[in-house]
């Protein structure tokens, strides 16, 4: 029973620590990432296929960046759009870490426009 209490206490502490370090637009960043991931999944599901690469057989899970790069190579999403989204998300995360809501929101607006194309 003591171990269970300790586990519950540790879980509560870990959950509260994450909330303390969340920046002013962490939720918007998570939402935008989810929108981008959904766009990539839709493009992968509905678009043309490509030959499996050697990297695909290395027993690693694909990342949103690797999926975006692959979709860009086969023409589902333009390389320019991928670049705008990746740099915009990076700027938003940096601004969020610096507690700069205005810069974060501008970067996310740019990403949203790119995702909508």
- Residue 81 has what pLDDT? 85
38 lies in a domain?
yes
Q: Quote the CA–CA distance of 39 and 42 in Å, as a whole number.
A: 5
Q: Quote the CA–CA distance of 76 and 45 in Å, as a whole number.
A: 10
DSSP-derived 3-state class of residue 53: coil
92 and 107 Cβ atoms separated by less than 8 Å: yes
Confidence of residue 72 (pLDDT cuts 50, 70, 90): low
Confidence of residue 7 (pLDDT cuts 50, 70, 90): very low
- Work out how many domains the chain is built from and give that number: 1
Confidence of residue 10 (pLDDT cuts 50, 70, 90): very low
Q: What is the domain extent for residue 110?
A: 23-49+60-116
7 lies in a domain?
no
pLDDT at 5 over 70: no
14 lies in a domain?
no
87 lies in a domain?
yes
pLDDT at 87 over 50: yes
112 lies in a domain?
yes
98 lies in a domain?
yes
Higher pLDDT, 6 or 33: 33
């Amino acid at each position: 029973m003591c171990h269970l209490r300790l586990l519950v206490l540790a879980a509560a502490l870990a959950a509260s620590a994450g909330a303390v370090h969340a920046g002013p637009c962490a939720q918007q960043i998570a939402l935008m990432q989810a929108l981008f991931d959904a766009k990539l999944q839709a493009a992968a599901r509905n678009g043309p296929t490509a030959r499996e690469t050697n990297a695909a057989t290395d027993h690693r899970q694909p990342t949103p960046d690797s999926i975006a790069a692959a979709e860009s190579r086969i023409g589902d999403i333009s390389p320019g759009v991928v670049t705008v989204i990746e740099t915009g998300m990076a700027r938003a995360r940096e601004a969020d870490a610096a507690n700069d809501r205005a810069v974060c929101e501008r970067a996310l607006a740019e990403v949203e426009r790119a995702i909508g194309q």
